[in-house]
Amino acid sequence: MAVSALPAGKLPTPMTRNNKNLSPEQAGLFLEIAEHSLRVTQREHFFSWLQGCFQYLFPHEVMVCGIGAYDSEDFSFESFSSTLCFSESHARAATAPRDGLVWQAMVAWRQARRPLMLGDGLRAGDYGSYVVPFTDADARLAAIELSNIAAHGMGEQNGNVSTFFCFSRVPQQPGEAHAHLLELLIPYLHSALMRVVSSSDNKLSVAGSTPAQQITVREREVLHWLKTGKTNWEIAQILSISPLTVKNHVQNILRKLNVQNRSHAAVKAGRLEEFSG
């Protein structure tokens, strides 16, 4: 089932999805996870939330999440790991455009719009509630200290991916039970992550650099005028560049700031002004 993105801060009503396959204990954990998700506003909150009741319902050691820039295929990734085996270099390899295994899983999800599973012994195919996109992943998973992936995401109405969540080092071989849990959990993961990203105190970046270090001088100029409410055409006239070039700069800014729209970028712009001199 495809999951459409929710506005930041808006949550689905708990238990509105089919939960008949949950045991009473699992149903209780799910309600607690949904309630605790409302308190997630900082990166450290997000990690603590994943390590609490979430772990009891959906055990895992590594979670890699991706955030897409609206109306663009640009994507930024962040990893949350409870094991020292999964390093930043592994995260970069896993999320590398085109070649990274997580990146390729995200591309496959964009087509299927259903939970994806990867793991030893899983055969490629469509299993109804989930899809196994390819089976040649075992050696590549081991090379980056990952195993047994269960992944799902949220999509925009324009067909782009809004958020993507890839859980790895899952204790059991992933399958239908994991797919059902992901259908329930992803809306809460999406909303919590959007609150973290929207917070002016948070900067998510796999590379570890700050937005001020990532943004170029020209992009700072575009960001300045974007903050004043100028359109792409108006910014193009001011900077004597083409509207298409401005659009490309705006998309790069959204990706580097890990925000989904111009208004969120404008909010974060104030925090970068000290670096523009």
CATH number at residue 243: 1.10.10.10
Which among 153, 169, 198 is the end of a domain? 198
Give the distance from CA 173 to its chain's centroid.
23
pLDDT band (50, 70, 90) for residue 209: very low
Whether 63 and 151 map to the same domain: the answer is yes
Q: Is the dihedral of CA 197, 169, 30, 109 positive or negative?
A: positive
Whether 156 and 70 map to the same domain: the answer is yes
Q: What is the pTM of this model?
A: 0.68
Which among 156, 173, 198 is the end of a domain? 198
Q: What is the CATH number of the domain that holds 59?
A: 3.30.450.80
Whether 33 and 141 map to the same domain: the answer is yes
pLDDT band (50, 70, 90) for residue 67: confident
Which among 173, 198, 223 is the end of a domain? 198
Whether 6 is in a domain gets the answer no
Whether 260 is in a domain gets the answer yes
Which positions ≥6 away from 262 have C-beta within 8 Å? Answer: 226, 250, 254
- CA max distance for the chain: 63
Q: What residue numbers bound the domain in which 133 lies?
A: 24-198
Whether 42 and 174 map to the same domain: the answer is yes
Q: What is the pLDDT of residues 147-164, one digit of tens each?
A: 999 999 998 777 778 899
Whether 56 and 189 map to the same domain: the answer is yes
Whether 154 and 248 map to the same domain: the answer is no
Percent of the chain, pLDDT > 70?
81
Whether 165 and 132 map to the same domain: the answer is yes
| Token pair belonging to 126 | 């469509």
Which positions ≥6 away from 7 have C-beta within 8 Å? Answer: none
The Cα 85–Cα 83 span in angstroms is: 5
Whether 109 is in a domain gets the answer yes
Whether 204 is in a domain gets the answer no
Whether 180 and 235 map to the same domain: the answer is no
Mean pLDDT score of the chain, rounded to an integer? 81
Whether 231 and 192 map to the same domain: the answer is no
Whether 269 is in a domain gets the answer yes
Whether 170 is in a domain gets the answer yes
Whether 90 and 227 map to the same domain: the answer is no
Q: Looking at the 3D structure of the chain, how many domains does it have?
A: 2
Q: What is the pLDDT of residues 127-149, one digit of tens each?
A: 999 999 988 778 888 999 999 99
Whether 34 and 152 map to the same domain: the answer is yes
Residue 226 has pLDDT above 90, yes or no: no
Whether 138 is in a domain gets the answer yes
The per-residue pLDDT for 17 is 44
